[in-house]
Amino acid sequence: MNSDLEKILLTEEQLKKKVIELGTEISSDYEGKNPLLICILRGAVIFFSDLCRAVKIPVNMDFVNLSSYNKGAFSSGEVKIRQELIADPEGKDIIIVEDIIDTGMTMEKYKQCLLDRGAGSVEICALLKKPEQKCVVDIRYKGFDIEDRFVVGYGLDYAESYRNLPYIGILKKEIYTK
């Protein structure tokens, strides 16, 4: 898998340090509350697991499967909910945990969906953010700003591969333009 990468963008150590920082910030901001952390499957699952362990206050967890990529390298612009929440969002303080904000459209639409369903508050925690967004999304808890390149590892994939890399790397263009 390493031979498919142009370079390693974020090391395992950098990721661990940032997750601890984000967990500490969330713990402080939500002291005395019991927020609902929602993992966006499947890309955020590794980040979500590490983040939940770094948060030192009680939390509830749930999972939703959203898709806009349809097994390709580029967003289709259409957001599909493939698996809905089990928890009722009404009145809850929610933190959506996402792996990467690319166009911003998926998070903007899903955040509004939760607010429309009566969520008390909705914040976004994203490990990565690319520079170009088609819409402005407020990311309360942000890990890293990255260049506009196709990245894999630490849960992020290309065609369901590379998720198990312990770091984040830039995928060689010839791999996803075949």
Tens of pLDDT, residues 79-106: 778 888 999 999 999 999 999 998 888 8
User: pLDDT tens, 23-69?
Assistant: 999 999 999 999 999 999 999 999 999 999 999 999 999 999 987 65
Give pLDDT, residue 77. 60
Whether pLDDT at 5 is above 90: yes
Which 3 state secondary structure label does DSSP give 109?
Answer: helix
CA–CA–CA angle 109, 23, 142 (5° rounding): 45
Active-site residue 88, yes or no? no
Residue that the structure tokens 């591969």 belong to: 161
Give me the pLDDT at residue 76, please.
53
- In 11-114, DSSP assigns E strands to 36-41, 60-67, 80-83, 93-101
Which residues make Cβ contacts (< 8 Å) with residue 23, sequence separation at least 6? 51, 53, 54, 55, 56
Q: Which whole number is the average pLDDT over 114-128?
A: 97
pLDDT value of residue 68: 67
pLDDT at 70: 53
User: Each residue of 131-173: pLDDT tens digit?
Assistant: 876 677 899 999 999 999 999 999 999 999 999 999 999 999 9
Active-site residue, from 50, 93, 99, 102: 102
pTM for the predicted model, two decimal places: 0.91
Could you give the domains of the chain?
Answer: 12-150 (3.40.50.2020)
Give how far the C-alpha of residue 175 lies from the chain's centroid of Cα atoms, to the nearest Å. 23
